[in-house]
Copies of this chain bind each other. A is one copy, B any other.
Amino acid sequence: MKKNNTNYPLKAAVRNMIEDVPVCYSNWNISDVKKMLFEKIKKIGTINYIYVIAKDKKLVGVFSIKEVFRRKGTAKVDLIMQKDLVKVRPYTDQERVAILALKNNLKAIPVVAKDDKFLGVVPSDVILSILHSENVEDFLRMAGIRSSFLKISKGSSLYLARVRIPWLILGLLGGILAAKIMNYFETPLKDYFILTSFVPLMLYLASAVGTQTETLFIRNLALDNKFSFLKYLLREINVGFLIAAILGFLLALVSIFWFGSSAFLGFIMAISLFLTILTAVLIGVCIPFVLQKFKKDPAIGTGPFATILRDIMSLVIYFSVSIFLLKLVQIL
């Protein structure tokens, strides 16, 4: 039976907890456990593990149901039980519960109060559906849709349009900002139209690199216990440097030998792409990191907001670098 602990956040572990699980005291033996199982089985919701508590209801150990069949009736529970416990608090986020189960290969995770008092467990089928719904949500959020999947799959066209449009309006505003920027740089861009032609390429590559960076970062954040931000950032910058150098070099070659641009314009594009990609890497690491610091789900950052920020930054960098270098050469 699920208890509704409505004073906890919607995604707290305690909301997904069942209380009717096999529990025994540490001074029992296996015969006592068997008796308890036969008496209480009708009420028990999940049966993979037997949880061992002390007199003060503190959780002190756990053992597999298999032990009940495997051991003699006289075997003492406190000699059988595993004392090294994976446990969560009532307010632990449900995604964290699922990740813990996954990492430790467990079928259920016990929930304990601050004083270690045993409260219940989150069972495997609940963990499975938590993990699934969190992932589906992440996917939808990346696409700028903030609604539950069930509502969406059942909703009318009108409902679906309403759910999808808010982020698109934000995208519209981002696009308008981009148009303002391009308008502002109209004169040099008209004179060097080849620079304009490569605007989609700049935006596309910055966004592709940025998405890769964000995705990898969020996965690492969720799955790595010993996550070091600085170490990760350094590696990411290394990788970004390599990628930016290779793509910038290729772009210069293409623009010179295929589009017949001057070597100098090719150089401008290469430098711009290089800086744009490095910026995309920084944005891709920093936005999720900042969100996580403020206790927000970092997966939010991979939505359209990051895309717009990246696109605007890319345009500004591209045009500023271009104009700076063009002016520099005319001065010399």
Contact = CB atoms under 8 A, between A and B. Distances in A.
Contacts of A326: none
A146 B201 CA distance: 22
Given A160-B235, A171-B205, A145 B215 contact: yes
A223 B153 contact: yes
Interface string A239-269: 1001100110011001000110000000000
A27 interface: no
State the oligomeric state as a number of copies.
2
Nearest to A125: B105
B158 A242 contact: yes
A129 interface: yes
A152 B101 contact: no
A128 interface: yes
A139 B219 contact: yes
Interface string A58-82: 0000000110011000000000000
A182 B205 contact: no
A102 B127 contact: no
Contacts of A165: 243, 246-247
| Residues of A contacting B: mostly | helix
Contacts of A208: 143-144, 167-168, 171, 304, 307
A6 interface: no
Nearest to A145: B212
B125 A106 contact: yes
A204 B200 CA distance: 10
A164 B200 contact: no
A212 B164 contact: yes
A196 B196 contact: yes
A325 interface: no
A209 interface: yes
A179 B201 CA distance: 7
Contacts of A193: 183, 186, 189-190
Interface stretch (A38-46, A86-94, A110-118, A286-294): A38-46
Contacts of A96: none
A47 B65 contact: yes
A329 interface: no
A233 interface: no
Interface string A20-40: 000000000000000001100
A53 interface: no
A251 B202 CA distance: 23
7 contacts: A47-B48, A107-B107, A139-B139, A139-B219, A144-B211, A176-B258, A204-B308
